[in-house]
Chain A
Amino acid sequence: MTTAIFVIVLTGALVAAACALLGSFLVLRRMAMLADAISHAILPGIVAGYFFAQGPNLLAGFAGAALAAAVTVAVVEALQNTRRVGGESAIGIVFPAMFALGTFFVSKYFANVHLDNDAVLYGNIEFAAFDVLIINGVNWGPQSLWVLGALCVVNLLFVVLFFKELKLATFDPGLAAALGFSPALIHYALMTMVSITAVGAFTAVGAVLVVAFMIVPAATAYLLTDDLRRMIAIAVSVGILSAAGGFVVAFIFDASVAGAMATMAGICFLLALLFSPSHGLVTRFKRLRRQRMRLAMENLVVHLLNHEHVAYEEHEAEVNHLSSELRWQTGFARRVIGLAQRAQLVQLTDGHLALTDAGRELARRAAATTVEPSSDLLAASP
């Protein structure tokens, strides 16, 4: 039992790692949908592999899947070039057709074998431990671990060896082409890796969830860093973490393991979206509010400065009058004044506001920088 658990978690972790390695580039190339299409469209390729190999054969499956993926990418591109079918629509037409073809053949010819429609959709990671690799009568342990381990190594090699090329072709395909690194070649190489990875991941987590493992951890990482290497590392970590966490959740609630793993990845994304220190919504909201308050404080001190030596200063500086003058809600005005007091920009005595020296200084500076001289521009042209 414990070995089975270990095998399931490790299988999930390997799927997540293999997928996340490529996922970072898919996210940056905005190709999440194409990856999704490939993960579905490989099905007829796998079926064809089964058919020609007269049964489950991994190599035939990989070859068939890679071919199906190439066909998918090429047909999607051809459709997109007709201009009548836009980018997303082209994907939407091709992959259901391919997937439907696959399910048709599965139900027709392989309904009683290893491959059934449920396994195609959701995978069967729960049984990962029981599908062992036997060579010459020797039991080498669970097959999924070997396959996915190999995939991880291959993907890691691919990303490490061609890191420079992948980065360049993703950031600036024009320059890549001009320098002689064919972006089309790199594109197809990446798509081939995606399709092979999808085959490996497919038996474990099914066609529907493969894309979750490719895209979600990478999208999470993109929210957390501004460095491509770190992004890939974080994506892999998030993937592995989701796999482990997902298993625990599935175990507790006695639910689908693959589903729980993908859900955990989704939760990681949500957390990053909200709380990322650099790109999170909470940070952004706080920054916006800080900016608004700083601007309001500037407005306040400038306003006070403008009325400082006027006869009715006393009246101008009353809190209530101020809120109506600057069109501020009383609550907001109180908050701004509170902040300004704490920053020692203003002093409040008996309901009257007065600028401190620091406040006066800020007001002068703020008033001076509102209009930027454009003489700089004129000096540029002789």
Chain B
Amino acid sequence: MIAQSIVEERSSTAVPRMDAAVANPVEINDLTVAYRDNPVLQDIDLTVPEGKLAAIIGPNGAGKSTLIKAVLGLVPTVAGSVRIYGKPYAQQRRLIGYVPQRNSVDWDFPTTALDVVMMGTYGRLGWIRRPGKAERDFAMHCLAQVGMDGYADRQISQLSGGQQQRVFLARALAQNAHIYFMDEPFVGVDAVTERAIVALLRELQRQGKTVICVHHDLDSAPDYFDWVALLNVRLIASGPFETTFTADNLRKTYGGTMKAAIEHFQHFEEDRRGSRIEN
């Protein structure tokens, strides 16, 4: 609880977004990313409104991760622009938290869980300045938020997959951001971690943050998120689940060959008539 109040307090003081009323957290215009002459993303126009838990959904090779990386400037773009609260990313780094795919790093790296979480504070510190007690304490609070404070001094290779994922989430929290980009946070995690992530997403939303997640599971998507972008190289549709997550749009996204997707959808639609997300 203390941890949460500290996070809120800090973030409310550190928000340099004067034009929040007019500018959306993320605005992508005509974005194209290509690998040689193969477009990975083509002419994407996407605006994510403030305070949404947004899922980016699409088949393998749809460019979901690439979209996040393009927004963060990690892959070169061929055309288009990305604006974060109306400004280029480079000016808004501090407002963004990033959770890369878990398998993108070497977990045999000689360091502890707490140290990895502290890396989230490096952006605020800038070059050369070292993290001190304040950063350390804050990192501990972030670890506590994902239920990992008991593992602070654990060498990261000694953690389970789910625990590693929670360390990554804690690190993003340590970035004390306003928009969180997460690349497949639910992949290969245990039930405890899955619940912890869902609780965290809700908490972030309660604090008015925007979360954008690459997600692959059509089944759980409507329960975890309230906004969706359907992607397959091009943007098929985006908006609230109720109007966007339709059979027609899913067929367009998955090319109609993926019967399972449609079945999932019908299942979901029946569910929706019954009861929608409790929280």
A residues neighboring B (CB under 8 Å): 28, 161-165, 167-168, 170-172, 174-175, 177-181, 222, 225-228, 230-231, 376-377, 379-382
Tell me whether A179 and B191 are in contact (CB under 8 A).
no
Which residues of A have CB within 8 Å of B106?
Answer: 28, 171
Tell me whether B125 and A164 are in contact (CB under 8 A).
yes
Q: Are A174 and B104 also in contact (CB < 8 A) when A226-B155, A381-B223 are?
A: yes
What's the minimum C-beta distance from B231 to chain A, rounded to whole angstroms? 20
Tell me whether B127 and A165 are in contact (CB under 8 A).
yes
B108-166 CB contacts (< 8 Å) to partner A:
109-112, 116, 119, 122-123, 125, 127-128, 130-131, 155, 157
Can you list 8 residue pairs at the A/B interface with Cβ under 8 Å?
A28-B110, A164-B128, A165-B127, A167-B119, A170-B109, A172-B104, A180-B90, A227-B110
Tell me whether A179 and B223 are in contact (CB under 8 A).
no
Partner of B93, one of A179, A222, A379: A179
Bound-state Cα–Cα, A170 to B108, Å: 12
Which residues of A have CB within 8 Å of B277?
Answer: 382
Tell me whether B191 and A178 are in contact (CB under 8 A).
no
CB-CB nearest in chain B for A278: B155
Please provide the 9 A-B residue pairs with the shortest distance between their CB atoms, ordered closest to farther: A179-B123, A226-B155, A380-B191, A376-B191, A178-B72, A377-B191, A178-B98, A226-B110, A228-B110
Which residues of A have CB within 8 Å of B175?
Answer: 179
- Chain A CB within 8 A of B212 CB: no
CB-CB nearest in chain B for A279: B108
Which residues of A have CB within 8 Å of B191?
Answer: 376-377, 379-380
Bound-state Cα–Cα, A296 to B125, Å: 53
Partner of A222, one of B110, B128, B157, B278: B110
Tell me whether A178 and B93 are in contact (CB under 8 A).
yes
- Given A227-B110, A382-B223, 15 new contacts (CB under 8 A): A162-B128, A164-B128, A165-B127, A168-B122, A171-B119, A172-B119, A174-B72, A174-B74, A177-B72, A179-B122, A179-B175, A227-B112, A228-B110, A381-B220, A382-B277
User: What 1/0 mask marks residues of chain B from 67 to 93 whose CB sits below 8 Å from any chain A CB?
Assistant: 001001110000000000000001001
Which residues of A have CB within 8 Å of B269?
Answer: none
B111, B155, B220: which has the most chain A beta carbons within 10 Å? B111
- Chain A CB within 8 A of B33 CB: no
B residues neighboring A (CB under 8 Å): 69, 72-74, 90, 93, 96, 98, 100, 104-106, 109-112, 116, 119, 122-123, 125, 127-128, 130-131, 155, 157, 171, 175, 191-192, 194-195, 219-220, 223, 277-278
Tell me whether A227 and B123 are in contact (CB under 8 A).
no
CB-CB nearest in chain B for A29: B106
Bound-state Cα–Cα, A167 to B116, Å: 10
What's the minimum C-beta distance from A232 to chain B, rounded to whole angstroms? 10
Tell me whether B111 and A175 are in contact (CB under 8 A).
no
Tell me whether B111 and A227 are in contact (CB under 8 A).
yes
Tell me whether A28 and B98 are in contact (CB under 8 A).
no
Bound-state Cα–Cα, A167 to B110, Å: 10
Bound-state Cα–Cα, A175 to B181, Å: 11
What's the minimum C-beta distance from B39 to chain A, rounded to whole angstroms? 18
Which residues of B have CB within 8 Å of A161?
Answer: 128
Which residues of B have CB within 8 Å of A174?
Answer: 69, 72, 74, 98, 100, 104
Bound-state Cα–Cα, A231 to B192, Å: 34
Tell me whether A380 and B194 are in contact (CB under 8 A).
yes
Bound-state Cα–Cα, A226 to B113, Å: 12
Q: Are A28 and B109 also in contact (CB < 8 A) when A161-B128, A178-B73 are?
A: yes
Tell me whether B119 and A175 are in contact (CB under 8 A).
yes
CB-CB nearest in chain B for A380: B191
Partner of B278, one of A178, A180, A382: A382
Tell me whether B74 and A180 are in contact (CB under 8 A).
no
What's the minimum C-beta distance from A161 to chain B, rounded to whole angstroms? 6
Partner of A181, one of B72, B111, B122, B278: B122
Bound-state Cα–Cα, A179 to B122, Å: 8
Bound-state Cα–Cα, A172 to B171, Å: 12
CB-CB nearest in chain A for B219: A381
Partner of B123, one of A170, A180, A225, A228: A180
CB-CB nearest in chain B for A30: B106
Bound-state Cα–Cα, A119 to B52, Å: 66
Tell me whether B128 and A171 are in contact (CB under 8 A).
no
What's the minimum C-beta distance from B53 to chain A, rounded to whole angstroms? 15
Which residues of B have CB within 8 Å of A231?
Answer: 110
Which residues of A have CB within 8 Å of B223?
Answer: 381-382
